[in-house]
Structure 1
Amino acid sequence: MASSRAVPNLMFRRLRGQRSPGEFAALVRRAAREIGEQVACDARYIGRVEAGEIRCPNYAYERVFLHMFPGSTLTDLGFSAREAVRGRGARGRTPPPDTYNSTNCTNSTYSNEESDVLRRAFMTSGTVTVAAASLGLGPLPGTEGHRTDVPRQRIGESEVSAVEEAVRQIRLLDDRHGADGLYQRAAQPLRTAYALLDAGATTRGSTAGRLASGAGELAISVGWLAHDSGRLDDARSHYAEALATSRVAADPALEAHAFCNTSFLARDAGRYREAVRAAQAGHRAAGPLGSARLLALLSLREAGGWAGLGDRPGCEQALSRAHTHFGRGPSDADPEWMSFFGEPELQALEAQCWSALGDWSRAARLSHRATALQDPHFARNLALYGAQLSGDLARGGAAAEAAAAGERVLDLLDEVQSSRIRAILAETARVLVPRRHTAGVADFLDRHAETARAAAAVAR
């Protein structure tokens, strides 16, 4: 296992100084935002660096660390030179820039430009596939077949880390590009993760717990890709799988996450009472975890369910709780997957509630605030908030403003692939048809129709 050969990185530990690992991780995330990068850094990652388990960071982390410590090299920061580090999966393959195992790097350099390759990065060279190959699970994705009759054996640090890194890569790619181009290709590593879990049935201790949690988080991530690409039944199945895993592993954090997404899905599917119940169950699971931000998000999920039921008092009470929890600020206890949840998402989710209750002007104000606050790096969310804004304006009678907002979303759809966002825009277009002669509306409707035809042709 990687950890048996690890040499502590004392230089990096000195750089952290008197800060806790969680506080230092927050500084890393802040530095990433300053340069338009996204890393899901937490206290565990900092601990792995300091323990020497991460001998060379991936390219995203490298850019962030060198931004934090100008004039330094990776070697100055206590890492091994890139050319000195080799992973089992590095030989003979050239993974794109955002897909490196955080434990191993290759000695090649790559362009930082986004491309269609990035959308396929997770499945063409994701780190979990390296672990799969090492366990005899079959060929890398893109070739035929995968074995699932894996001999039971002990699973080590490298396999567990591969599953955890796979979750991060899916989230990163979804933030930038949306779910449509990822879902089908992400199903294979999910099967691999559960095959790893089954193969490691005799594994004990923290490794077993991390593997179960990682597999469950991967199930949620793949479920979200299904959800966002309009495959609601598939999403429900994946979330149920994650929930079952959380119960078996006695992992309340995973349970809260599974209930949170289940509530969101139920609301989108029109099962509003289920949305309320799932959010409340998630709140009970999250209570002992100490994350006010997680409780805020679960309260927003509950509010969405009440809004769908037309229960304004219930919705307002849940929204009040959400703002109270959110006002307590972030903490080290916040789950890694909640990196998306900041002020813009708070505004957007509240806007959805008022939209469901028919208060279009209030919903539009909140949606506009969400788009104004959103970091452009989160392209999918920016497109989603813009689509919501366009719909709220259209229903509120502001046709010209709705068309302009819709045009801005269409500008993003070459980069973002999300059936959910397209469905919101399609409904907005339907609402605007009677206002075709209003300034700008005809141009939006014509462009939307052309984009929809192109998307349908690609789907065929």
Structure 2
Amino acid sequence: MGANVSLRRRMAELELSQVELAHRVNKHIAVVTGRYGTCSERTVRDWLTGKTSWPHVRQRAALEAVFDCTAEELGFVPRGAPRPASPPEEDVRRRTFITSGTAAAAASAFPIPAPNRQTTLGAADLLRLRSGLETLDALDDHQGGHAALERAALAGADQVLIAQRNGSASERVRRRLFGVAADYTAVAAWSCIDARELDRAQQHLDACMRLAGLAQDSTAQFRAWNSIAMLAHQQGRHPDAVAAAHAAQATSVTRRDPMFASLAYARAAIGYSNQSDRPAALRSLGLANDSLGRARPELRPSWFAFYGPAELHALTAVVRDRLGDSDQAEGSSHQALAMLPPQFRRNRALATGRLALAQLHQGDLELSTSTAASIFDLMASGSIPGRMRTLLGDFHRDLLTLSSNAPAAREWGDRYRTEWSRK
């Protein structure tokens, strides 16, 4: 067999080294089976040289999930089949999905494979059914919540549940199927929270919590409680937000992984700050920082990739500003922006909005309006999610309260109205 040119080209497109590809394959296998895979750099080298022309079923399914295409499109040939004379045409579905200017077109291009006949479901099917989640998470990081993302996530959940109903499976696989459906439903719920479609968010979260319970999946339960805390915050039910954060703290995943515990403490800190409970808010922030300091690099789901030191700085800015510590909020916002990875465009825009508010609350009109206006440039290639619109609305209201006649305020007002009419 000759070298696998298709696989090498696709690795180059994603800038994946052999070690990184092996890790991603093992990560997908671990999500499904609970055990980290055995793929190594040598395994990948055998694929690239053609020494292995048809990988093991679990590795094959994981490869398809990583690259969002079939094993044949990756240049692999089933045993007994002739090798194609030329590599298949380049598949650009994942890039199209993330970069398309039309979210609806991207959603319609997103395939979520599922068995359509009576079959026995196993690890490979779980990998295939999970394969769309990372793409959805990437779209959310880039653009934020919107209707097409919600629809695509619900379609994914439906496909998983159809497979679960129509196929036979072991009890363990069936629980994992419920967990995958919970993850897709959580994406839909989060999309509605970010878009401030609060009633639909509540409906999705109710379904997500039920599915997470059926899955007996503490990570999915944590994700639901985290979103419930954010929804309660948006609805102004601050005691409920604190209670949801405490429920997230009580899930077993927080005992296994301090990174999850850190996020739960940070979410509680925001709830306490909204109730003007300064000691409790600062105590929770301290616990969030302590937990983050104890966390170690390890396998975590793709949706959790947003959380780390940068996001904790961003959440600290929220807490500090609401406690009246605007100077410290400004410092935390600068730290968040300095550390945020480039793919988190929506989170960068939100952190920029928090920076503008902190500057405004210190009385710096010109600097704060310039900072706030940069959000429109950051989000120029897409619509502004509802949560970000609310943040900009808060800034606009506070600016008018402070000074509606200053030149900086008038200039901001013109830009604000112009951008609003476009979005």
TM over 0.5: yes
Contact 2:254–2:260 (CA under 8 A) maintained in structure 1: no
Question: Which residue of structure 1 aligns with residue 20 of structure 2?
Answer: 28
User: In structure 2, what is the Cα distance between the partners aligned to 1:301 and 1:40?
Assistant: 31
Deviation at 1:44, TM superposition (A): 2.7
* Secondary structure in structure 2 of the residue aligned to 1:397: coil
Contact 1:119–1:173 (CA under 8 A) maintained in structure 2: no
Deviation at 1:198, TM superposition (A): 3.1
Deviation at 1:190, TM superposition (A): 2.8
Question: Which residue of structure 2 aligns with residue 445 of structure 1?
Answer: 413
Contact 2:140–2:149 (CA under 8 A) maintained in structure 1: no
Deviation at 1:79, TM superposition (A): 7.1
User: In structure 1, what is the Cα distance between the partners aligned to 2:163 and 2:413?
Assistant: 49
Task: Find the partner of 2:116 among 119, 135, 151.
Answer: 135
Please, what is the CA RMSD of the aligned residues?
3.6
Relative to structure 1, is the Cα distance of residues 319 and 288 closer, same or farther in structure 2, using a 3 angstrom cutoff? closer
**More off after superposition, 176-185 vs 388-397:** 176-185
User: In structure 1, what is the Cα distance between the partners aligned to 2:197 and 2:421?
Assistant: 20
Contact 1:190–1:222 (CA under 8 A) maintained in structure 2: no
Q: TM-score of the superposition, structure 1-length normalised?
A: 0.72
Contact 1:295–1:325 (CA under 8 A) maintained in structure 2: yes
Question: Which residue of structure 2 aligns with residue 358 of structure 1?
Answer: 324
Contact 1:177–1:380 (CA under 8 A) maintained in structure 2: yes
Contact 1:40–1:339 (CA under 8 A) maintained in structure 2: no
Question: Which residue of structure 1 aligns with residue 269 of structure 2?
Answer: 303
Equivalent residue runs for 1:33-72 within 5 Å = 41=24, 43-45=26-28
Relative to structure 1, is the Cα distance of residues 215 and 287 closer, same or farther in structure 2, using a 3 angstrom cutoff? closer
User: In structure 1, what is the Cα distance between the partners aligned to 2:50 and 2:103?
Assistant: 31
% same residue: 21
User: In structure 2, what is the Cα distance between the partners aligned to 1:217 and 1:238?
Assistant: 11
User: In structure 2, what is the Cα distance between the partners aligned to 1:391 and 1:78?
Assistant: 59
Residue identity opposite 2:48 in structure 1:
T
**More off after superposition, 386-395 vs 40-49:** 40-49
**More off after superposition, 72-81 vs 286-295:** 72-81
User: In structure 1, what is the Cα distance between the partners aligned to 2:272 and 2:324?
Assistant: 13
Q: TM-score of the superposition, structure 2-length normalised?
A: 0.77
Cα deviation code 1:93-127 (max 9, x no counterpart): xxxxx982475646222676864257446632323
Cα deviation code 1:161-206 (max 9, x no counterpart): 2331222111011111111253343233333333333334x42144
User: In structure 2, what is the Cα distance between the partners aligned to 1:102 and 1:342?
Assistant: 33
User: In structure 2, what is the Cα distance between the partners aligned to 1:399 and 1:335?
Assistant: 41
User: In structure 2, what is the Cα distance between the partners aligned to 1:345 and 1:437?
Assistant: 35
Residue identity opposite 1:196 in structure 2:
A
1:241 is aligned to 2:207: yes
User: In structure 1, what is the Cα distance between the partners aligned to 2:150 and 2:130?
Assistant: 19
**More off after superposition, 99-108 vs 311-320:** 99-108
Contact 2:150–2:188 (CA under 8 A) maintained in structure 1: no
Question: Which residue of structure 2 aligns with residue 90 of structure 1?
Answer: none
Where do 5+ consecutive residues of structure 2 fail to align?
1-15, 55-59, 61-65, 75-87
Deviation at 1:337, TM superposition (A): 2.5
Where do 5+ consecutive residues of structure 1 fail to align?
1-23, 30-38, 53-64, 82-86, 88-97, 137-151, 456-460
User: In structure 1, what is the Cα distance between the partners aligned to 2:356 and 2:272?
Assistant: 23
Task: Find the partner of 2:191 among 213, 225, 228.
Answer: 225
Figure out how many residues of one structure are paired with residues of the other and give that number.
375
Contact 2:269–2:281 (CA under 8 A) maintained in structure 1: yes
User: In structure 2, what is the Cα distance between the partners aligned to 1:374 and 1:80?
Assistant: 40
User: In structure 2, what is the Cα distance between the partners aligned to 1:242 and 1:40?
Assistant: 29
**More off after superposition, 191-200 vs 398-407:** 191-200
User: In structure 1, what is the Cα distance between the partners aligned to 2:303 and 2:25?
Assistant: 10
Relative to structure 1, is the Cα distance of residues 196 and 104 closer, same or farther in structure 2, using a 3 angstrom cutoff? farther
Contact 1:344–1:373 (CA under 8 A) maintained in structure 2: yes
Contact 1:154–1:199 (CA under 8 A) maintained in structure 2: no
Question: Which residue of structure 2 aligns with residue 422 of structure 1?
Answer: 389
Deviation at 1:376, TM superposition (A): 2.0
Residue identity opposite 1:195 in structure 2:
I
Equivalent residue runs for 1:425-436 within 5 Å = 425-433=392-400, 435-436=403-404
Question: Which residue of structure 1 aligns with residue 237 of structure 2?
Answer: 271
1:108 is aligned to 2:89: yes
Residue identity opposite 2:387 in structure 1:
R
Residue identity opposite 1:45 in structure 2:
H
User: In structure 2, what is the Cα distance between the partners aligned to 1:155 and 1:369?
Assistant: 47
Question: Which residue of structure 2 aligns with residue 92 of structure 1?
Answer: none
Residue identity opposite 1:369 in structure 2:
Q
Contact 2:221–2:251 (CA under 8 A) maintained in structure 1: yes
